[in-house]
Amino acid sequence: MIVGIDLGTTNSLVAYYDGRQARVIPNRLGENLTPSVVSVDDDGTVLVGKTALARSLRHPLSAASVFKRSMGTDREYVLNGNKFSAEELSSFVLRSLKEDAEYYLKQPVTEAIISVPAYFNDKQRKATKLAGELAGLHVERIINEPTAAAISHGLLDSRDRSRYLVFDLGGGTFDVSILERTGKIIEVRSIAGDNFL
């Protein structure tokens, strides 16, 4: 089973295609969004999502968030004495989403398409792919977030050559992209935004 994953700066989600449309998979708490937060407990247990977010309020030095901004860099995060790269922290979030999807779908999830900001460079894209692999996923494709948004809203259905303005207001970023679609091909023509809201 292949899933689509939005690995967000502040929240992440996983979805699948049911044959007619994309459906968001709720996490085991019944929520569509999983906070992109990782915490390490005193016994070394890695916590992800809402549990990690709650723990971060009491133990801020044992938690990390907004690590997506450091993908593809040498930055290390120290959580409760343990060192992690942004890719490793992202892999914990991705593994949690993978496990939520497997629980919901009642079948193994082995492949994923992961969306990234259109401004991500090649190093950041490769780092995202590595995070997926560390989570036990074969990353079929890395796709630009505005392209994913265009596809999810049916913009491929039209036959005409078209241009679209896509606004992506996330928890930590704001991006504006101009997309051009010719047939089934969507190209990002221009991007701008604020990556540090």
Looking at the predicted structure, is the pLDDT value of residue 36 above 90? yes
What strands, in cross-sheet order, belong to the sheet with 162-169?
A: 162-169, 174-182, 185-194
- Buried-state track 57-95, b at ≥16 Cβ within 10 A, e below 16: eebeebbbbbbbbbbbeeeebebbeeebbbbbbbbbbbb
Residue 24: CB atoms within 10 Å: 14
- The length of the chain, given as a count of residues: 197
Name the more confident of 94 and 186.
94
Looking at the predicted structure, is the pLDDT value of residue 158 above 70? no
Cα–Cα dist 160/156, whole Å: 9
Q: Give all domains of the chain, ordered by start, each with its CATH number.
A: 2-194 (3.30.420.40)
Query: pLDDT class for 93, splitting at 50, 70, 90?
Result: very high
Query: pLDDT class for 179, splitting at 50, 70, 90?
Result: confident
**Per-residue pLDDT, 132:** 98
Residues 6+ apart with CB under 8 A from 89: 38, 64, 67, 77
Q: Which of 186, 70, 63 is nearest to 124 (CA)?
A: 70
Cα–Cα dist 172/184, whole Å: 30
**Per-residue pLDDT, 41:** 95
Residues 6+ apart with CB under 8 A from 162: 155, 180, 181
Residue 163: CB atoms within 10 Å: 9
pLDDT tens per residue, range 39-80: 999 999 999 999 999 999 999 999 999 999 999 999 999 999
Enzyme catalytic residues: 6, 68, 145, 168
**How far out from the chain centre does Cα 114 lie?**
6
Q: Which of 68, 89, 61 is nearest to 10 (CA)?
A: 68
**Per-residue pLDDT, 147:** 81
**How far out from the chain centre does Cα 77 lie?**
19
Torsions phi, psi of 166, nearest 5?
-115, 125
